[in-house]
Homo-oligomer: A and B are copies of this chain.
Amino acid sequence: MCFSPKLFPEILIKENFIVVLVDILRATTTICTAFENGVQAIIPVATIEEAKQLKEQGFLVASEQDGKKLDFADFGNSSFSFTRERVEGKTLVYCTTNGTRALEMAKHSEKIVIGAFINISALTQWLNEKDKNVVILCSGWKKKFCIEDTLFAGALSSRLLDSGKFTTNCDSAHASIDLWNVAKADILQYIEKAAHSHRLKKLGLDDVIPYSFTADQTKVVPVFDGTKIKNEELNPA
């Protein structure tokens, strides 16, 4: 488990691992929402320049900086704007401050899967069906530790360890599980102290918080193949 993309190069597993990318507020929650609403594929790009170029080529583009939608873009990163009417059957280009940077870091891993509270059970099932090591990579905020991604990492780690298929000797994983156990009884109250909650309130973008912390609103499992993110169907339970 990795609290920030900056710590990712220190991860010792060199092969045969899946990265779970986490950016609860908001890229990974938003990506799951878009797939729930029928988006066909998402092309992540690392820079605003690339996003602009692809916009000029006719793509629908989501792009934000410090949480705010950029003028040229069709979407910011509010999950609520990725409605079925706007995204069904489409291919979107997605550029976000935090999430795409983390994706860039993780691209040498075997597979990258998108994790959020809203798809946590589907994701857990999917990971349990693979025979792979798992690295949970939190995007953090401006490359720093952030509490909301850590809580998700703790929730997911708990579920994976409870399945009996995984073990860990990672201090970050143990710490995130303990924090999740402190927070889980009233996560919205707990998350009040997160610095990013304050930032979103200031921007008037905090409407998405309860949604972002509600488990299992979708069964999508978005997987990045090196070029595009696509939904992988779960095996029937």
* A residues whose Cβ falls under 8 Å from a Cβ of B: 3-4, 6-7, 10, 141-147, 150, 169-172, 174-175, 178-179, 181-182, 193-196, 198
Whole-angstrom distance from the CB of A122 to the nearest CB of chain B? 27
Complex interface: chain B residues within 8 A of A10 (CB): 6, 142-144
Interface residue SS majority, chain A: helix
CB-nearest residue of chain B to A3 = B145
Select A145's contact among B141, B171, B181, beta carbons within 8 Å.
B171
Residues in chain B near residue A142, CB distance under 8 A: 10
Contact in complex: A171, B147 (CB < 8 Å): yes
Name A175's contact: one of B143, B175, B196 (CB within 8 Å).
B175
Smallest CB–CB gap between A213 and chain B, Å?
Answer: 15
Partner of A146, one of B6, B145, B171: B171
Residues of the B chain whose Cβ atoms lie less than 8 Å from the Cβ of A196: 171
Closest B residue to A4 by beta carbon equals B7
Cα distance A181–B193 in the bound complex, in angstroms: 16
Cβ distance A3 to chain B, nearest Cβ, rounded Å: 6
Q: Quick one: given A6-B7, A10-B6, A193-B174, are A169 and B198 in contact (CB under 8 Å)? A: yes
Determine which residue in A144, A194, A198 has the highest number of CB atoms from chain B within 10 A of its CB, and name it: A144
Q: Are B143 and A171 in contact (CB under 8 A)?
A: no
Report chain B residues within 8 Å CB of A182.
Answer: 178, 181-182
Task: Beyond A171-B196, A181-B182, list 4 extra A-B contacts (CB 8 Å).
Answer: A144-B171, A144-B172, A146-B171, A150-B175
Complex: chain B residue closest to A198, CB-CB: B169
